[in-house]
Amino acid sequence: MRTIGTLIHHELRRMIRAKETFWLLLFLPLLLIFILGNALAGFFDYEDRRVDPIEVGLVVLDEASAEFAGLLRTEEMARWLDVRDFDDRERMLDALRNREIGYGVVVPEHFAERATSGEEARWELYPGHNADANLVAESAIGGLLDRINFVQSAVIALGDPRAAEAAVRTASAADGSRVNVMPPDMSGRDYSALQYYAAQMLVMFLLYAGMAAGLSIIEDREMRTLERIHAAPVRPVHILAGKFAGDGLIAFAQALLIIVFTFAFYGLDWGSRYIHLLAVCLFIVISAVSLAVIVAALAPKGRTFQTVFMTLIMTMTFLSGGFTPELGGFLDRLGEFTLSYWASQSFIHLMLGSADSIVREHLTVLGLTAAGLFLISALLGRKAVSHE
């Protein structure tokens, strides 16, 4: 452990003393957030881009769930969703593909049975072509599902539906309640350009922080200092752990500084779920450093590494809407396969105060991505820190 501590301390010192660290990892993201957030504010003006009620195609495959499905048509929901019934899933999906509707929902068989038995009940959700519309629909429907599941749990616990409703209302009103049973983010809140680009830039620069970890490995390799470290009584796994933890800490500190700075000086609202916020940052940092280790293992030279990694960052940022929010069509779909998409959407959902289920879903995908990349980096790590 002492050796790892020495290597972490060494890595931190090297990074902090490198001139580019300050400019690249701290000053530049804050500057870009400010410039993009202000320059493109018009694009995000709420009045200009007010989201009309989204046409949602609904297929109910469970007759007993008609009452639950009816909740999509309440007056409150009508502000956001315009529900259109379909007889079967295929027709609804055809309409979604042809852009006749913006979002699709299928209430599966036995949904009511599952919900009333207290099991977690899910609807099948089909996103459409418009990222904003998807966000609103997911937020509204996800929150509704949370509410259904919670009420059913209360009914089972208390035995009486009216008592359960009362308990739910009390829980909602109670200060410090752990469960939000209010309608999901229906308050008309929207994200500003500053928030959008803060999320996107934070993700992009956290990936850059990962790149710094890879560059540090390659610089050690090219300067032959890695060979020197290997000549000491140090195991390769210690070297990898030192790099990973040292650069990961720098990246994590960078994330916190940007969040605190943008909150304090730009008045940016990152939401109130701080643990989730930290978890998102942690998952991105793990993913970014893991990705850097993987690329460093495969790239023989610093220049190759930089080219490959920067191309990856730029492509992922572009596809996830980091430069322009609406790419449309195929590119939007492609963006959903990127780390940047899930990372930035996680931040945005936290900023919007989206339903727990949605945040959880994003965190799960992000966490699994981080775990997968970490596993691969652990397998390739020995090659990355090899001095040969």
Q: Of 179 and 253, which CB lies nearer to another protein in the complex structure?
A: 253
Which helix (H) or strand (E) segment holds residue 118: the answer is none
Count interface residues toward another protein (CB under 8 A). 23
E-assigned strand segments in the chain: 54-60, 81-85, 103-107, 124-127
Distance CA 205, CA 32 (A): 10
CB of 238 to another protein, least distance (A): 9
CB of 377 to another protein, least distance (A): 23
CB neighbours (10 Å) of residue 233? Answer: 7
Residues 294-353 that bind another protein (CB under 8 A): none
The residues near 205 (Cβ < 8 Å, ≥ 6 apart) are 24, 25, 28, 29, 254, 258
CB of 242 to another protein, least distance (A): 10
Q: Are the C-beta atoms of 230 and 239 separated by less than 8 Å?
A: yes
CB of 136 to another protein, least distance (A): 49
Instruction: Find the part of the chain contacting another protein (CB under 8 A) among 6-14, 142-150, 172-180, 267-275.
Output: 6-14
Closest by CA to 205, choosing from 77, 67, 314, is 314
- Side-chain-side CA neighbours of residue 261 (13 Å): 16
Distance CA 354, CA 76 (A): 16
Q: Of 231 and 275, which CB lies nearer to another protein in the complex structure?
A: 231
Site string for another protein, 9-48 (x = CB under 8 A): -x--xx--xx------------------------------
User: Can you give the C-alpha Rg of the chain in angstroms?
Assistant: 24
CB of 25 to another protein, least distance (A): 15
The residues near 276 (Cβ < 8 Å, ≥ 6 apart) are 346, 350, 359, 363
Q: Of 87 and 388, which CB lies nearer to another protein in the complex structure?
A: 388
Site string for another protein, 199-238 (x = CB under 8 A): ------------------------xxx-xxxxxxxxx---
Instruction: Find the part of the chain contacting another protein (CB under 8 A) among 7-15, 52-60, 80-88, 333-341.
Output: 7-15
Q: Of 13 and 189, which CB lies nearer to another protein in the complex structure?
A: 13
Q: Of 19 and 178, which CB lies nearer to another protein in the complex structure?
A: 19
Distance CA 351, CA 273 (A): 9
DSSP 8-state symbol, 27 = I
CB of 308 to another protein, least distance (A): 24
Using CB under 8 A as the binding rule, whether residue 2 contacts another protein is answered as yes
Q: Of 169 and 301, which CB lies nearer to another protein in the complex structure?
A: 301
The residues near 106 (Cβ < 8 Å, ≥ 6 apart) are 58, 59, 61, 89, 92, 123, 124, 126
CB of 215 to another protein, least distance (A): 13
Residues that bind another protein (CB under 8 A): 2-3, 6-7, 10, 13-14, 17-18, 223-225, 227-235, 387-388
